[in-house]
């Protein structure tokens, strides 16, 4: 009799462990499926949320420098990174593009032989309705539909054929400018094209 009770307890314990394991897997899948990814903010929809004097806790944009190199010198050529379609570009994507392009130009041309500019500013405030998921949650949270959410970051709205970055260089730095804009464009959530023009005297 005692041996039978021990077997029953062990079987109940194994069943409880299996149920807990399956519930944790479901929570993990739900958490991964409902997580708001960066690509979800790529599309332009609705009016931009920009009135920061009415927004409590509006986050500061990650990008703070918009001009690098020698901004006072005159250069022979200007390269443009132009968006192929409209989109929202998050502030950390703009900062990543700035760092990638600036590293190429400063490494190949030096600090005074180019001028790199980031043109769009992240005015639009992004919102997210954060939901609670965890191992110790006693239920799965679905949340409210079309919830307003809280500010989590900023983004710049870019139209089709709008210039995102410019690089001013001399003739010997054209290839470096193209490579810099190509690497910077790889950090952005949209496809871009590069145009090089000779500056007016």
pLDDT by 10s per residue, the chain, length 201: 555 566 666 677 667 666 666 555 545 444 444 456 777 778 888 888 888 888 888 888 899 899 999 989 899 999 999 999 999 999 999 999 999 999 999 999 988 899 999 999 999 998 888 776 555 555 556 677 778 888 888 999 999 999 999 999 999 999 999 999 999 999 999 999 999 999 876
Q: Cα-Cα-Cα-Cα dihedral of 141, 142, 144, 147, to 10°? A: 90
pLDDT of residue 57: 81
3-state secondary structure of 158: strand
CB 79 within 8 A of CB 163: no
Helices 174-186 & 91-109 angle (0-180, nearest 10): 160
Kindly give the residue spans of alpha helices, DSSP state H, lying in the chain: 2-34, 91-109, 174-186
Q: What is the spatial distance between Cα 78 and Cα 166, in angstroms, rounded to a whole number?
A: 7
CB contact set of 31 (below 8 Å; sequence gap of 6+): 133
Strand order in the sheet with 192-198: 67-69, 115-118, 163-169, 77-83, 192-198
């Amino acid at each position: 009799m005692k041996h039978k009770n021990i077997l029953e307890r062990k079987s109940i314990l194994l069943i409880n462990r299996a149920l807990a394991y399956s519930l944790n897997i479901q929570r993990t899948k739900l958490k991964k499926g409902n997580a708001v990814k960066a690509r979800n903010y790529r599309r332009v929809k609705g009016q931009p949320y920009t009135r920061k004097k009415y927004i409590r806790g509006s986050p500061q944009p990650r990008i703070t420098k918009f001009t690098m190199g020698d901004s006072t010198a005159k250069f022979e050529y200007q390269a443009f990174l132009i968006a192929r379609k409209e989109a929202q570009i998050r502030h950390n994507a703009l900062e990543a593009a700035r760092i990638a392009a600036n590293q190429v130009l400063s490494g190949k041309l030096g600090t005074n032989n180019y001028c790199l500019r980031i043109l769009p500013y992240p005015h639009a405030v992004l919102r997210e309705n954060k939901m609670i998921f965890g191992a110790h949650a006693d239920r799965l949270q679905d949340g409210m539909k079309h919830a307003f959410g809280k500010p989590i970051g900023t983004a710049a709205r870019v139209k089709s054929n709008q210039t995102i970055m410019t690089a001013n260089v001399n003739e010997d730095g054209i290839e470096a400018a193209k490579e810099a804009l190509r690497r910077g464009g790889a950090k952005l959530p949209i496809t871009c094209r590069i145009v090089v023009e000779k500056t007016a005297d």
